[in-house]
Amino acid sequence: MAILPQLRHWIALPLVFAVLIVAAGLTMRSAPALTAADLSVDAALSHDHTPQLTAIALFINVAFSPPAGVVMIAAICLFLLLARRSPVNAVATGLVAAGSWVSSELFKLVVARHRPDSTALFDPLTPEPGTDSFPSGHTALAVALAIALFLLARGTGWQWPVLAMGALVAVTVALSRVYLGVHYPTDVAASFLTSLTGASFITGLWNKYGLAALARLPFLARLGPVPPPAS
């Protein structure tokens, strides 16, 4: 992962994508008809809860929570650093995963969309009031991990299985958030876009400055090879 695939215009295009995502989020927040249509999906699913699906959704609620996300990313990085002796892969994977995920929090702050009204649901399982609905952080985390692990597996026989599994997990997490009634469908759809937008910026940033930054941390070379930055 010393060099990652990147957009040619890795600053301008993510910025354009970010503006479009914010515009979409603000439109959803300020249009009652769109929010009502969104909420109707949550309300319909609220009538079809089953013990098995509820158990899975509540497990995902914890497994992809912010504390669990920090632990997962840290565990992956430590494994790559200490077990695989690959400082470059460890730092690059952590940077892509964390950067893509954290970017969703910036959109939450700007858009400030209210979460679905739990009183409108037939069976509210875990009400979460607040103005941090758009996008879904749980879904953004799943997508960010999928992107980072795909880039890590790139060029190996694991590349496509990792991509398929990552996509499956991300879609499952997205569906679970709507099933629980804590996010609108448009929230979870936006999470895929926010994580991809964050990743497209982070990969360009890594390619330009990553190896040069690692070269200033000589202790990393004791744990594994750190190639010099391209001249």
Cα-based distances in Å from 227 to 78, 121, 178, 213: 19, 55, 44, 11
pLDDT in tens, 37-53: 999 999 999 999 999 99
Q: Tell me, what's the pLDDT at 225?
A: 84
CB of 176 closer than 8 Å to CB of 56: yes
| Per-residue model confidence as pLDDT tens digits over 217-231 | 888 878 888 888 776
Calculate what percentage of the chain has a pLDDT beyond 70. 100
The residue-averaged pLDDT of 193-202 equals: 97
156 phi and psi, to 5 degrees?
A: -115, 175
Label residue 127 by pLDDT band (50, 70, 90).
Answer: confident
Distance CA 15, CA 201 (A): 9
Cα–Cα distance, 192 to 190 (Å, whole number): 5
Report pTM. Answer: 0.94
| CA 153 – CA 92 distance, rounded (Å) | 13
Give me the residue label for tokens 């070379």: 221
SS3 state at 27: helix
The closest alpha carbon to 60, from 50, 69, 49, 48, belongs to 69
- pLDDT tens for each residue of 66-86: 999 999 999 999 999 999 999
Residue 191: closest CA among 27, 52, 25, 16: 25
Q: Say whether 74 sits in a helix, a strand or coil.
A: helix
H/E run at residue 131: none
Mean pLDDT of 195-211: 95
What pLDDT score does 231 carry? 61
Residues 14-26: pLDDT tens digits?
999 999 999 999 9
Q: 201 CB contacts (<8 Å, ≥6 apart)?
A: 10, 11, 14, 99, 103
Query: Can you tell me the mean pLDDT for 164-170?
Result: 98
Provide the residue ranges of all domains of the chain, joining segments of one domain with +. 51-111+130-217
- pLDDT tens per residue, range 180-196: 999 999 999 999 999 99
pLDDT value of residue 128: 83
The mean of the pLDDT values for the chain is 94
As a whole number of angstroms, the distance between CA 119 and CA 7 comes to: 44
| Residue 107 identity (one-letter amino acid) | F
